Amino acid sequence: MNFIEIVKPKLLDYFKDKNIAVLYGGMSEEREVSLRSGKNVYDALRSFPEIKDNIYLIDVKDGYSLIDDLRIYKIDYCYNILHGTYGEDGKVQGLLDMLNIKYTGEGTTVSAICMDKIQTKMIWNSNNLLNADFDLLNKKNDVNDNAIYFSSDKYIEYPFIIKPIENGSSVGLFIVKNKDDFDRVSKTIDNPYGYFVEKYIKGKEYTAGIIPKLDGTNHILPILAILPKNEMYDYEAKYTKGMTDFEIPAKLDKDTENKVLDMVMKAYESLNTRGLCRIDFILDDNNDMYLLECNTQPGMTETSDVPEMAKSSSVDFRDFVLYILGLSIF
């Protein structure tokens, strides 16, 4: 019996007289992903007879209607499965704090920091955790046939990645191999100040899920190797069945696995995270590990990474969802 199954009876007993809202949908570009994630979470919680009549599915379309719904249903706890802006960046967390309603995931400050990829990378840098070289994209960047230049006289050579500072699900992710690519991408970006440039690291992408145990320690789920059929692990590859193959557990030699586990745990703890998170990283051709980002509200769709990790650990998806809800108690 694993640590999740051990606490399952206590969690069901605790939540049997609590009203629980699954917050899904939202107002970000990741709305469709959240709708899929939320339905799966709702169905999982509703599968338990002890609590099935206390679960409410709330589509968060704006703050006013959310407050009304929370009051109408007399909600005690929220399973927050909103992705992106307003749901993952500290905003809904702050609202729930003001209403004195507990919720899954990170608190207001940590959510805001982890949503901001630049802040995350700066914290990792200050802790000597390796991640790809980066700088902010803006209208003053000079681009030639060799590289992109920044106001600090710093430059990043091709190829490089352009990413939004605050988005998940690989929304707005571009690979730039030459000046023609840059010119084409620039025309699709309305606000360059909302993006940054990151050095492209050639290698294999992996992801690791970390979940706290109730004894105060943290547990790393089986590491997953990502094998997208697209050039990058973009939105299409993430959420279209058959567009990505998974290797789980990832085939790593013991020394590499130990290095990865150590760095993932340090990356998680350096951000003061307290709930389920997913750390994405790349191992390059020299087997050096580069951190990419920390996702504080991983997707729960049929093609999402974390459910695959739980399945590989022989953890029932429904039990896994209940356990995540249970973390909101503490």
Active-site hit among 25, 87, 209, 299: 299
- Tell me how far apart the alpha carbons of residues 320 and 327 are, in angstroms, rounded to a whole number: 11
- Tell me how far apart the alpha carbons of residues 198 and 232 are, in angstroms, rounded to a whole number: 14
Active-site hit among 169, 170, 304, 328: 169
DSSP state of 221: P
What lies within 8 Å, CB to CB, of 226 at 6+ separation is 204, 205, 206, 207, 233, 244, 246, 305
Active-site hit among 88, 205, 293, 305: 293
Is 31 a known active-site residue? no
Give the three-state DSSP class for 168: coil
Is 65 a known active-site residue? no
- Side by side, the strands of the sheet bearing 142-143 are 142-143, 147-149, 155-157
Active-site hit among 42, 86, 103, 239: 239
- Tell me how far apart the alpha carbons of residues 207 and 266 are, in angstroms, rounded to a whole number: 15
- Tell me how far apart the alpha carbons of residues 173 and 228 are, in angstroms, rounded to a whole number: 15
Is 293 a known active-site residue? yes
Is 36 a known active-site residue? no
The token duo for 20 is: 């629980």
Is 103 a known active-site residue? no
Is 169 a known active-site residue? yes
Distances (CA, A) of 202 to 88, 120, 167, 232: 29, 21, 22, 11
The token duo for 131 is: 């991640």
Distances (CA, A) of 127 to 109, 119, 284, 288: 19, 13, 21, 17
Is 131 a known active-site residue? no
> What is the number of alpha carbons within 13 Å of residue 156 lying toward its C-beta?
22
Active-site hit among 135, 205, 234, 280: 280
Active-site hit among 198, 278, 290, 308: 278
Is 151 a known active-site residue? no
- Tell me how far apart the alpha carbons of residues 21 and 301 are, in angstroms, rounded to a whole number: 18
Active-site hit among 30, 166, 305, 319: 30
Active-site hit among 28, 80, 131, 295: 295
- Tell me how far apart the alpha carbons of residues 37 and 31 are, in angstroms, rounded to a whole number: 10
Catalytic site positions: 30, 169, 239, 278, 280, 293, 295, 299
